[in-house]
Structure 1
């Protein structure tokens, strides 16, 4: 789950020990945690913890949060994370919709936007729309200057096969107290028009977020952009495979093109993997579960013992293309009787009970193969009728003697995409 966060310009984020401390600060929340507790839980010496926390405070990532009464000796000073010190963007490129979210360092959504999208419009047009959306999102939050949205300046067809160059240094504003960096510049020209009609709209804004998404002391950075899209997908290469119904995306260097267009760190993964990662980070225990997503397609994200399973060739979780009916209808993947084609056909004709039964059959296969603790259901189709899918999936598992926990989660894929950027900051 590691990735290069060099564009963040915060030296503390490059330290493994600092990541351990930051993770504990994040988990402590507003209550905070003392330096002594940090030393005990990390195994670091008190001197090492003092140096790390001094650096985190100097860079605006942590601050003192008062004192805690002691059972003996002087009261302990506690520290807490400063969520507004840094941000990440998450993008979900679905077949017909683009969702973007800005989250703070603690992973809390600040602003969420959605817009119509046509994945079949081709990679250049879609990525131009995605870049435009990122610029507008950051400009609206006060984290980048407004973009020059001149038409025709996006990604041109055939461009982007070269790796993205290092982002140009942002113009530095007057140094804030403590020497931390100022806001990161937008770092790119405008993009072309969106490939489908429909202006982006804010769907959720945190009323308690700092004005203009500024950090305490006026410092803030954008660590990068996480992008989630349908699979299959080559995670190390940052390129999708043959997406069902959209073979034109096969091998297109999405990560590198978008990184060059935005001048920012970009991380790309499957939509189901992004959601599963975000859900794993929210879990209090390192358990094993499958996130089964039914929206415009069907897939799964797998977490075993708290770790996301991508597979040796990053092809794990392609649940939708498991054959369950040998003489079934043809699927866009080239097979017949796949779970995805059967499930989506049932949804299309309004037979949600049958769709839930098919989904439950796929979930049962995962439970038997992986011996997982939970099955979490998500995606637009599931959330449109959560009770039907939860009951139907649970009934199939029960009939097969598999008493595995089943629950519906409204967790957004775009939030998980942002965690692709944030997770390495906390050593995840």
Structure 2
């Protein structure tokens, strides 16, 4: 099978699963109607899903004539996947069943200035604790999706950056974590993972963009149900688009990057320049916690905190217009731990910006929404990416035909 055929086959299985997940109980005919796939393609996809125990038949629908339609349902406990979102400042873990339910979730410390071996041991212990909490045996775990920052080499499972310390550059992240856990591990860009999580759990669909902010700023784009990868899966770096050629220097080599002007670190730095604000809000030098304190103060009406966040949101709104102009999407989803409290403010600013300045606004409206899984989207996407990778591996082995 060619790579093109495999790529076409993977979303077929994922699409069928998504429809069954949404409708709970559904017939093959209804699946064909809902997906636009041929009856033959649906039949083959269902056979594959039944063979691996992901789907089972649960009886027949009432018939008004002709052969009664056999009904299908997911087997939620057939398998589980784990997603870990990890950056310098934040980390979240989830265990997700086949039906898309989060059966266990917890937050943990980010990498901070830790060395990779130490951080990965901590992550492995955390995953084991999550699985124990959910009473999920390792034998049912398809793998772990590690959603983290870039640039990265997804094939090798390494970061191509010396952040947060020099030891992280090309450290074998997936290999080390896989050995510690005894299950497969893949690496995914956190912003792309957030988009995959939205698409995979029935949120935004088909073609859309995700603006992601946790420790930093990024974006993910899904086109026709597939994540946009670029040449090396390191594209759509919204945080490193320059909006001020004479702005502050960035570690990436550019100047005036969105992240350096509007990201959580920039917001906290700005707050510390306003006399008395740091003491009033009890800022303590923890970027994520301090950003959250500023967000809470802003939503409570503190004028200084609100002014800082409004400036940040205006910059991110301008960047969102560029994102929409580049990819001509009609939907943008706001996701990431930094939006847990401040999300509505940033959503409204981005909506106002695209309403005012998106190039295609006369052709179609652009809707900006806050994710239903705002803090967990990247971790969920890591888990969904594992499921999709398992489809890819199975398809490659089976050589099954693709097509509508």
Q: Which TM-score band applies after superposition, normalised by the shorter structure?
A: 0.7 to 0.9
1:251 to 2:170 alignment: yes
- Correspondent of 2:19 among 3, 27, 33: 27
1:414 to 2:379 alignment: yes
CA distance in 1, matches of 2:14, 2:354: 40
Structure with greater helix percent: 2
Count of aligned pairs: 339
CA distance in 2, matches of 1:354, 1:34: 51
1:377 Cα shift? Answer: 1.5
Query: Where in structure 1 are there 5+ consecutive unaligned residues?
Result: 4-13, 145-182, 185-220
1:405 to 2:364 alignment: no
Secondary structure in structure 1 of the residue aligned to 2:333: strand
Secondary structure in structure 2 of the residue aligned to 1:224: strand
CA shift in 2, pair 1:39/1:381, >3 Å: closer
Which structure 2 residues correspond to residues 207-286 of structure 1 after superposition, within 5 A?
Answer: 221-242=140-161, 245-283=164-202
Tell me the equivalent position of 1:384. Answer: 341
Normalising by structure 2, what TM-score?
A: 0.75
Tell me the equivalent position of 1:362. Answer: 319
1:325 to 2:244 alignment: yes
Tell me the equivalent position of 1:167. Answer: none
CA distance in 1, matches of 2:232, 2:67: 55
Tell me the equivalent position of 1:347. Answer: 267
Secondary structure in structure 2 of the residue aligned to 1:120: coil
1:97 to 2:90 alignment: yes
1:44 Cα shift? Answer: 5.3
1:43 to 2:35 alignment: no
Q: Is the 8 A contact 1:241 1:250 kept in 2?
A: yes
Secondary structure in structure 2 of the residue aligned to 1:121: coil
CA distance in 2, matches of 1:285, 1:376: 7
Q: Is the 8 A contact 2:325 2:358 kept in 1?
A: no
1:119 Cα shift? Answer: 3.6
1:26 Cα shift? Answer: 4.5
CA shift in 2, pair 1:17/1:355, >3 Å: closer
Tell me the equivalent position of 1:371. Answer: 328
1:38 Cα shift? Answer: 5.8
1:396 Cα shift? Answer: 2.3
CA distance in 1, matches of 2:10, 2:322: 40
- Correspondent of 1:113 among 106, 109, 130: 106
CA distance in 2, matches of 1:387, 1:114: 22
CA distance in 2, matches of 1:309, 1:80: 30
CA distance in 2, matches of 1:99, 1:79: 33
1:99 Cα shift? Answer: 1.2
Tell me the equivalent position of 1:76. Answer: 69
Q: Is the 8 A contact 1:21 1:38 kept in 2?
A: no
Deviation track 1:87-145 (CA, whole Å, cap 9, x = no partner) reads: 0011111212321111001222111011223342011111111111111222232233x
Tell me the equivalent position of 1:394. Answer: 351
- Say which is worse superposed, 341-350 or 363-372, in terms of deviation: 341-350
CA shift in 2, pair 1:65/1:135, >3 Å: same
CA distance in 2, matches of 1:389, 1:359: 8
Q: Is the 8 A contact 2:151 2:161 kept in 1?
A: yes
CA distance in 1, matches of 2:57, 2:187: 35
CA distance in 2, matches of 1:378, 1:123: 26
CA distance in 2, matches of 1:82, 1:422: 14
1:20 Cα shift? Answer: 4.5
1:383 Cα shift? Answer: 2.6
- Say which is worse superposed, 396-405 or 263-272, in terms of deviation: 396-405
1:285 Cα shift? Answer: 7.8
- Correspondent of 1:290 among 209, 216, 237: 209
CA shift in 2, pair 1:401/1:265, >3 Å: closer
- Correspondent of 2:234 among 312, 315, 321: 315
1:22 Cα shift? Answer: 7.2
CA distance in 2, matches of 1:360, 1:223: 38
